[in-house]
């Protein structure tokens, strides 16, 4: 193992520092956004800080392990991981419903969200398979159709959990990977994309709560106390922050006005407390991470590394874009956490492991 490590170069230092800065911002903002709720609910304003800090330590340990573990060895685990993901996604249906959705497996001391790991397992499988199948990717049915079918099986199970956000992430990342792997543009954008848009509209209007979210997005002030409430409170938070913000820890919207202030809508609290400057800083960090991820994909020593780096970077990019678009009123409300920043142990640890793999790929560049 030591000999294998010596053959690798240095990991991308800029990417590493960016990840650690995002993690630091996340821990600080989770405490700031959750302190009011934690004090009232748990009589401890540091309740969520302690949990997030513990998960962050575990995530850092796992990330360093992934940095030193040759990513090529992950190929042999892809098939078994794909098989294991099926029962994990099915177990959630036996769990109690939370806010009308079944997405978590209760382990007693904590809860685990299988969809967080499934999206990366799908990326690993596709990177291995696309590398192996080569020019087959240029065919419509045995290429593009095959990979979309595989991703839709897993994305469909996640959709059945009432989790359309992660369903969307998996499908979008699959399309990105197909494009990078060399699929024909006509197949992706001339056939698949129009069919996908029709399917998306059908899915949205197949459930009343999804339809209500669209209507609430189009005119949130019409139903300000129901469908439009969360978006209005988010916009109030962002608007109250101005350029410089009201000050760290001084948010008013976190005081039971904005639901999920330390989770999916934590970016709103960043805007309120740290202002436009704070928002720009966080967005800049994500842009640097995405840039270094793309750079790693371009400089990977093999096609497998290129596709794996593309998939990991795409998941982080798509989730960040969706989350920021939702809280700023640029797209309908949906539950996508902001990577490294939103509260949540499963998401944080899995993202840290994934970026560890990305850093390992950067160590083995051409």
Residue 177 confidence (pLDDT) above 90: yes
Q: Look up tokens 């078994």; give the residue.
A: 80
Q: What radius of gyration, in Å, describes the C-alpha atoms of the chain? A: 20
Question: Could you give the residue ranges of the DSSP H alpha helices within the chain?
Answer: 2-7, 13-42, 47-68, 78-91, 114-133, 146-160, 164-181, 185, 193-206, 208-218, 229-241, 266-299, 303-327, 345-363
**Is residue 285 assigned to a domain?**
yes
Cα gap 91→14, rounded to integer Å: 39
Give residue 183's pLDDT: 92
- pLDDT tens column, 237-295: 999 999 999 999 899 999 888 888 898 999 999 999 999 999 999 999 999 999 999 99
**Is residue 62 assigned to a domain?**
no
| pTM above threshold 0.95 | no
Q: How confident is the model at residue 1 (pLDDT cuts 50, 70, 90)?
A: very low
**Is residue 99 assigned to a domain?**
yes
Burial 323-361, CB ≥16 within 10 A → b, else e: bbebbbeeebbbbbbbbbbbbbbbbbbbbbbbbbbbbbb
The burial of 314, by beta-carbon neighbours within 10 Å (0-12 exposed, 13-18 middle, 19 or more buried), is given as buried
**Is residue 216 assigned to a domain?**
yes
Q: Are 333 and 356 in contact (CB under 8 A)?
A: no
Give residue 100's pLDDT: 64
**Is residue 142 assigned to a domain?**
yes
Domain, as residue range, for 158: 82-340
Cα gap 318→170, rounded to integer Å: 9
Give residue 204's pLDDT: 78
Q: How confident is the model at residue 99 (pLDDT cuts 50, 70, 90)?
A: low
**Is residue 366 assigned to a domain?**
no
Residues forming a β-bridge with 160? none
Mean pLDDT of 313-334: 92
The residue that leads in pLDDT, 130 or 112, is 130
Q: How confident is the model at residue 2 (pLDDT cuts 50, 70, 90)?
A: very low
Q: How many domains does the chain have?
A: 1
Q: Are 135 and 303 in contact (CB under 8 A)?
A: no
Residue 4 confidence (pLDDT) above 50: no
Q: Are 180 and 172 in contact (CB under 8 A)?
A: no
- pLDDT tens column, 141-151: 888 999 999 99
């Amino acid at each position: 193992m030591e000999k294998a490590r010596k053959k690798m170069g240095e990991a991308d230092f800029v990417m590493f520092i960016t990840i650690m800065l995002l993690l630091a911002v996340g821990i600080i903002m989770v405490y700031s956004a959750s302190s009011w709720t934690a004090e009232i609910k748990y009589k401890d304003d540091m309740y969520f800080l302690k949990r997030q800090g513990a998960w962050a330590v575990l995530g850092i340990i796992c990330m360093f392990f992934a940095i030193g573990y040759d990513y090529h060895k992950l190929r042999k685990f892809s098939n078994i991981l794909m098989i294991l993901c099926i029962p994990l996604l099915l177990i959630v249906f036996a769990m109690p419903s939370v806010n009308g959705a079944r997405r978590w497996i209760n382990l007693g001391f904590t809860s685990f969200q299988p969809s967080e790991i499934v999206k990366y397992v799908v990326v690993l499988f596709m990177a291995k398979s696309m590398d192996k199948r080569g020019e087959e990717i240029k065919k419509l049915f045995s290429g593009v159709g095959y990979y979309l079918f595989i991703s839709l099986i897993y994305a469909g199970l996640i959709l059945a959990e009432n989790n359309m956000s992660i369903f969307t992430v998996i499908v979008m990342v699959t399309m990105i990977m197909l494009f990078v792997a060399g699929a024909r543009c006509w197949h992706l954008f001339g056939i698949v994309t129009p069919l996908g848009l029709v399917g998306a509209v059908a899915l949205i209007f197949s459930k009343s709560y999804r339809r209500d979210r669209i209507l609430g997005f189009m005119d949130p002030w019409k139903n300000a106390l129901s469908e439009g409430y969360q978006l209005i409170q988010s916009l109030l938070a962002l608007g109250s922050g101005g350029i410089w913000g009201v000050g760290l820890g001084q948010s008013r919207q976190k005081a039971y006005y904005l639901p999920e202030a330390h989770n999916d809508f934590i970016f709103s609290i960043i805007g309120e407390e740290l202002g436009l400057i704070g928002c720009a800083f966080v967005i800049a960090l994500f842009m640097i991470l995405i840039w270094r991820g793309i750079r790693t994909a371009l400089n990977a020593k093999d096609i497998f590394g290129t596709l794996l780096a593309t998939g990991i970077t795409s998941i982080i990019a798509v989730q960040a874009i969706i989350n920021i678009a939702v809280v700023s009123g640029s797209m309908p409300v949906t539950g996508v956490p902001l990577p490294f920043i939103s509260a949540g142990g499963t998401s944080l640890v899995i993202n840290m492991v994934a970026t560890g793999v990305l850093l390992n790929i950067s160590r083995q560049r051409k």
